[in-house]
């Protein structure tokens, strides 16, 4: 069945270092969404990418959607302790609207 995979599972960085998480889908996606879940919290929507090769920036966060619309990445420049949490990518299941989530990348930042 359709799968969404994320790597790495965990990432430990020193504050100020960069961080990247990668997302790969077994099928072409119409769009991809990214969510952040703080420890003990719930997923919070960050962004949605729709176009092939699309790149969007939110301050220190850069999101990219691959040309084939099967992979995506999230890059954080100069991490801060407030970036701590688990980052999930999610894509729609086939032609339906519900989402398939990756297992997430858990980011810890050492001050």
Partner 1 sequence: DAGVTQSPTHLIKTRGQQVTLRCSPKSGHDTVSWYQQALGQGPQFIFQYYEEEERQRGNFPDRFSGHQFPNYSSELNVNALLLGDSALYLCASSLVGLRDSYNEQFFGPGTRLTVL
Given the rule CB under 8 A, which residues bind partner 1? 30-31, 33, 35, 41-45, 48, 88, 90, 92-93, 95-104
Q: Return the half-sphere exposure (C-beta side, CA atoms, 13 A cut-off) of residue 78.
A: 2
Query: Distance from first CA to last CA of the chain, Å, rounded?
Result: 41
Give the residue with the Cβ less far from partner 1, 18 or 45.
Answer: 45
Neighbours of 56 (CB within 10 A): 16
Give the residue with the Cβ less far from partner 1, 13 or 47.
Answer: 47
Which residues face 110 on adjacent strands? 14
Minimum distance of partner 1 from residue 9's CB (angstroms)? 9
Minimum distance of partner 1 from residue 105's CB (angstroms)? 10
- Backbone phi and psi for residue 81, each to the nearest 5 degrees, phi listed first: -65, -25
Give the residue with the Cβ less far from partner 1, 97 or 111.
Answer: 97
Minimum distance of partner 1 from residue 34's CB (angstroms)? 10
Could you tell me where the DSSP H helices lie in the chain?
none
Give the residue with the Cβ less far from partner 1, 16 or 41.
Answer: 41
């Amino acid at each position: 069945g359709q799968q969404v995979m994320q790597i790495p599972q965990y990432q430990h960085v020193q504050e100020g270092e960069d961080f990247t998480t990668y997302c790969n889908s077994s099928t072409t996606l119409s769009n991809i969404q990214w969510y952040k879940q703080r420890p003990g919290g719930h997923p919070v929507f960050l962004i949605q990418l729709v176009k092939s090769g699309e790149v969007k920036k939110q301050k220190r966060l850069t999101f990219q959607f691959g040309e084939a619309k099967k992979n995506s990445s999230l890059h954080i420049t100069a991490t801060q302790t407030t970036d701590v949490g688990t980052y999930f990518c999610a894509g729609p299941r086939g032609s339906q609207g519900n989402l398939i989530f990756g297992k997430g990348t858990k980011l810890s930042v050492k001050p």
